[in-house]
C-alpha cells in the first residue's frame, strides 16, 4: 500500500461511524464464560476461581481453575482443569478433577498436577486441615457399609442384575432430580503424606442416618475442621422417617481420627443449625440458626459460642436480616456476614462483642466470600454481579476499596449494551412499602410505547435482586424489545422476616394485591409502557401465580408463560418430595388435616375462567413440582380450546441447565411473546 493510500485509510477509519451497540441475546447469555467459587490463599496474595466455558457441540461446559493476584495488577493464569479450588499451605491449590482430589503448585519443586486421592467412590467435596496433615472428604456410601469399597461392590453387583425394580419402605424415594439409592453423603478423613492421601479412609459418621453435606445442594460449607485440627463439626439432619417434613438440622462434633461417634452439640434447637465456623485462635465458634421447626425460609440468626465460658448467645438479635454465610476476622473481633438487604446481597461486619452491624459492600449481589487472615490485615475475595453485568472476582483488603480481579465477560460483552434498569416502590398490601424494577427495552426512545413482560419470581421466599441470572435474565427479555417489570411482593427476602412471613398461608391474596398495585405503579412510573400489550411469566411459585392469575386476574394480559408451576395445590401436598415446604405454606398441616387450606388458593379450581393463551413449560426430572402438574394444566387449556403450547424437557429438573436446552427454552419463549404481544401481533 502506498503512503497516500495508507493515509487515506487512516483518515477513513477516524471518521467512520462507531459500531452500533446491540442488546444481549440468548446466544450471548449461554455463551458467556462463567466465573464462580472464588477463594483466597492463606497469605491473602492470590485468588483462585472456577471458570466455566461453553462447548456447545458437546452440550456442556468445561471447568478450569485460574489464579490471579489480589492486588489487581497481574493477569489471571490457568493452573489446571477441574472445579472446587481450595488453598492449602505453601501455595498449594487443591481441587476436584475426575471425581477425585488433586493438587497443583507451579512454584513448588513438582509443579505438575498431582492426584491426591484414589478412592473407590467419587469425592463430592473436601477440606484440608490447617496443618496440612489431614484431608476430610465426602462420599456417598451405605451407612451400614462405611468402607467405600464395600459400597462400590454393592453397586457393581446390582449392575450385573437384570432386575430394575426399586423397593422403598420410607421417604425420600426421590429428591430434587434423583431417585434415592440408599446411600448417604458421609465424611471421611485421610492422612496426607507429602501432599498425597495415604492409608484407608477413616469414617467420621459411622452408621449415621443422614447426609453431610446435605442433599441436594450442600458443599463444604456444611462442615468445618476445627482450628486445632482435632475434630470436624458438621451440619446434618438425622433422617429416620421424618426427613421429608423435618428441617431440624443439628451441629455434630466428630473426632477427626474417628475414635468416637459424632456428638450432637445443638440438640436444644429443633430448627435449622448450619454453617459452622471457628476463630483463628480457636476460642470462639459461630453458626447460623433458625428458630421455627418446619420452616425453610425462617431468619438465620448469628449464634456465637465462647469456648472458655461455654456460653452460646445470639449476636444482634434485633438485626432483621438473615445470614447466608459467616467468617471470622483474623483478630476475632468481627464476623463477616453475607446477607440479603433490599434487592442487594452485601457483606456486613458484625462486632463479636456488641453485635453492631455495618455494611462492607454496596449495591449489587455478592455471591459467596472467602477470608484470608494476612499479615497486613484481612483480605476478602468474592464474586459480585448486578442486573447489568455477570459475576467477576473482587478482592477487598478490609479498610480499603474493592479491586476487580477478573474481566472474564469483557470480550464477549464488547459491543453489547446493558439496558437501563431502575428501582421503584409503592404502597402494597397493608399499605406497606413494596419494591420493584423497571427495565427499558432495547432501542427505547422517548414518545414511543413498548410491550411489557411482567416477571414473577419463585420461592416464593425469593427476590428480584440487583443480580445476574443465567436463566431468567431480564436483560435478554429487554433485548427482545420488551419492557420488563418485576415486583418483590410480600414473601420476598431482604426486607425483614415479617415481610417474608406475610405470604405463608396467603399465596393468592397478599402477593396478588402487590402485583396488581405494582402493575399500576409501574405504568405511572413509566407511561411509555403499553399496558394493552402485556404478558405475565413466572417459574415455580411464579408459575403458581401465573396459573392463579389466569383464573383471577387475567384482564391486563394477552398471554401467559408458566414454567414448572403448581397447578393443583392439593396433589402438590402429596407428590412433592420436601413436604415441609408444602405443609408450612398451607396451614402448617398435611392435606388431610386441613384440606380447606390447600384448596383456598388452588389454581385448578378456577380453570373454568381460563381464556388467555398460555405457554406451559415443565421437565420430567422436576421432583420438586412434578411434571404431571404441567401436563394437567396443558390438558385443561387444550380441552377448553385455549391457544396453548407445552414445552417438555425429559432431561432437565426444576431448572433448565443444558446449553442447547437453554437456547431452545429462550427461542420458544421469544416466539410465544412475538405471537401475542410482539410487533407482528399488532
Catalytic residue IDs: 540, 622, 654
C-alpha cell belonging to residue 197:
492421601
Report how far residue 566's alpha carbon sits from residue 624's, in angstroms, rounded to the nearest whole number: 10
Report how far residue 265's alpha carbon sits from residue 289's, in angstroms, rounded to the nearest whole number: 13
Pairing type for strands 644-649 and 614-619 reads parallel
Strand partners, 66: 49, 78
C-alpha cell belonging to residue 494:
431482604
CB 343 within 8 A of CB 423: yes
Torsion of CA 560, 565, 570, 572, to 10 degrees: 170
Instruction: Write the CA distances from 421 to 433, 472, 483, 484, 670, integer angstroms.
Output: 19, 15, 10, 9, 20
Measuring CA to CA, which residue among 490, 498, 495, 541 is closest to residue 340?
Answer: 495
Instruction: Write the CA distances from 384 to 373, 641, 657, integer angstroms.
Output: 21, 47, 21
C-alpha cell belonging to residue 358:
455495618
Measuring CA to CA, which residue among 38, 25, 14, 84 is closest to residue 418?
Answer: 25
* Distant-in-sequence, close-in-space partners of 204: CB < 8 Å, separation ≥ 6: 136, 186, 187, 188, 189, 232, 254, 255, 256, 258, 262
Grid look-up 413440582 returns 625
CA 340 to chain centre: 13
C-alpha cell belonging to residue 374:
494476612
End-to-end CA distance of the chain: 53
- Quickly list DSSP for 534-553: EEEEEETHHHHHHHHHHHHS
Residue ranges of E strands in 129-248: 134-141, 174-175, 178-179, 184-193, 196-203, 223-225, 231-237
- 295-298 long-range Cβ contacts below 8 angstroms, 24+ apart: 295/247, 295/271, 295/504, 295/580, 295/584, 296/247, 296/272, 296/461, 296/578, 296/580, 296/581, 296/584, 297/459, 297/461, 297/493, 297/500, 298/271, 298/272, 298/322, 298/497
Q: Note the residue count of the chain.
A: 682
What would you measure as the largest C-alpha separation in the chain, in angstroms? 90
In 98-181, which residue ranges form alpha helices assigned H by DSSP? 148-159
Nearest 5 degrees, angle CA 118-CA 255-CA 124? Answer: 35
Amino acid at each position: 500500500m502506498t503512503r497516500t493510500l495508507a493515509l487515506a485509510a487512516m483518515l477513513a477509519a477516524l471518521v467512520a461511524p462507531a459500531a452500533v451497540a446491540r442488546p444481549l441475546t440468548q446466544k450471548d447469555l449461554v455463551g458467556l464464560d462463567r466465573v464462580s467459587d472464588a477463594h483466597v490463599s492463606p497469605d491473602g496474595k492470590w485468588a483462585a476461581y472456577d471458570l466455566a466455558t461453553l462447548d456447545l457441540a458437546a452440550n456442556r461446559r468445561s471447568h478450569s481453575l485460574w489464579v490471579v493476584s489480589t492486588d489487581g495488577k497481574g493477569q489471571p493464569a490457568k493452573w489446571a482443569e477441574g472445579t472446587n479450588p481450595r488453598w492449602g499451605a505453601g501455595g498449594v491449590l487443591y481441587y476436584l478433577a475426575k471425581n477425585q482430589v488433586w493438587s497443583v503448585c507451579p512454584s513448588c519443586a513438582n509443579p505438575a498436577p498431582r492426584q491426591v486421592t484414589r478412592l473407590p467412590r467419587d469425592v463430592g467435596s473436601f477440606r484440608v486441615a490447617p496443618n496440612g496433615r489431614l484431608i476430610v472428604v465426602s462420599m456417598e456410601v451405605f451407612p451400614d457399609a462405611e468402607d467405600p469399597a464395600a459400597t462400590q461392590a454393592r453397586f457393581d453387583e446390582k449392575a450385573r442384575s437384570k432386575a430394575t425394580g426399586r423397593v422403598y419402605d420410607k421417604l425420600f424415594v426421590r429428591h430434587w432430580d434423583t431417585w434415592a439409592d440408599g446411600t448417604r453423603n458421609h465424611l471421611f478423613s485421610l492422612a496426607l503424606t507429602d501432599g498425597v492421601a495415604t492409608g484407608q479412609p477413616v469414617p467420621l459418621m459411622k452408621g449415621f442416618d443422614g447426609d453431610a453435606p446435605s442433599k441436594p445442594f450442600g458443599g463444604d460449607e456444611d462442615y468445618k475442621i476445627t482450628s486445632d485440627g482435632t475434630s470436624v463439626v458438621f451440619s446434618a439432619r438425622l433422617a429416620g422417617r421424618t426427613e421429608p417434613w423435618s428441617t431440624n438440622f443439628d451441629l455434630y462434633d466428630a473426632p477427626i481420627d474417628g475414635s468416637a461417634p459424632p456428638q450432637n452439640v445443638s440438640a436444644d434447637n429443633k430448627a435449622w443449625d448450619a454453617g459452622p465456623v471457628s476463630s483463628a485462635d480457636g476460642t470462639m465458634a459461630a453458626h447460623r440458626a433458625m428458630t421455627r421447626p418446619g420452616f425453610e425460609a425462617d431468619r438465620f440468626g448469628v449464634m456465637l459460642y465462647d469456648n472458655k465460658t461455654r456460653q452460646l448467645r445470639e449476636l444482634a438479635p434485633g438485626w432483621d436480616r438473615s445470614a447466608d454465610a459467616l467468617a471470622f476476622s483474623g483478630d476475632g473481633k468481627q464476623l463477616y456476614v453475607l446477607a440479603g438487604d433490599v434487592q442487594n446481597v452485601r457483606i456486613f461486619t458484625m462486632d463479636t462483642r456488641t453485635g453492631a452491624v455495618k455494611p462492607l459492600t454496596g449495591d449489587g449481589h455478592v455471591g459467596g466470600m472467602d477470608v484470608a487472615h494476612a499479615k497486613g490485615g484481612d483480605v476478602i475475595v468474592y464474586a459480585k454481579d448486578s442486573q447489568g453485568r455477570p459475576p467477576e472476582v473482587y478482592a477487598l483488603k478490609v479498610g480499603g476499596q474493592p479491586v476487580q480481579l477478573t474481566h472474564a465477560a469483557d470480550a464477549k460483552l464488547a459491543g453489547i449494551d446493558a439496558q437501563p434498569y431502575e428501582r421503584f416502590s409503592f404502597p402494597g398490601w397493608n399499605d406497606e412499602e413494596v419494591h420493584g424494577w423497571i427495565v427499558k427495552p432495547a432501542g427505547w426512545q422517548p414518545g414511543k410505547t413498548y410491550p411489557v413482560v411482567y416477571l414473577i419470581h419463585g420461592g416464593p421466599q425469593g427476590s428480584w435482586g440487583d443480580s445476574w441470572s443465567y436463566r431468567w435474565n431480564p436483560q435478554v427479555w429487554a433485548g427482545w424489545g420488551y419492557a420488563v417489570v418485576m415486583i418483590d411482593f410480600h414473601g420476598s427476602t431482604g426486607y425483614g422476616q415479617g415481610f417474608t412471613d406475610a405470604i405463608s398461608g396467603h399465596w393468592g391474596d397478599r402477593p396478588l394485591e402487590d402485583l396488581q398495585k405494582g402493575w399500576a405503579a409501574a405504568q405511572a412510573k413509566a407511561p411509555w409502557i403499553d399496558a394493552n400489550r402485556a404478558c405475565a411469566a413466572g417459574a415455580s411459585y411464579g408459575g403458581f401465580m401465573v396459573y392463579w392469575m389466569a383464573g383471577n386476574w387475567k384482564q391486563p394480559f394477552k398471554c401467559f408463560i408458566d414454567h414448572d408451576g403448581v397447578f393443583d395445590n392439593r396433589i402438590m401436598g402429596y407428590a412433592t418430595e420436601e413436604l415441609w415446604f408444602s405443609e408450612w405454606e398451607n396451614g402448617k398441616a398435611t392435606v388431610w388435616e386441613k384440606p380447606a387450606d390447600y384448596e383456598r388458593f388452588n389454581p385448578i379450581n378456577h380453570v373454568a375462567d381460563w381464556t388467555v393463551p398460555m405457554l406451559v413449560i415443565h421437565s420430567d426430572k422436576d421432583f420438586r413440582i412434578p411434571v404431571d402438574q404441567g401436563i394437567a394444566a396443558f390438558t385443561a387449556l387444550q380441552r377448553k380450546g385455549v391457544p396453548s403450547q407445552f414445552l417438555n424437557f425429559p432431561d432437565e429438573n426444576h431448572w433448565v441447565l443444558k446449553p442447547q436446552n437453554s437456547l431452545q427454552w429462550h427461542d420458544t419463549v421469544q416466539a410465544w411473546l412475538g405471537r401475542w404481544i410482539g410487533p407482528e401481533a399488532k
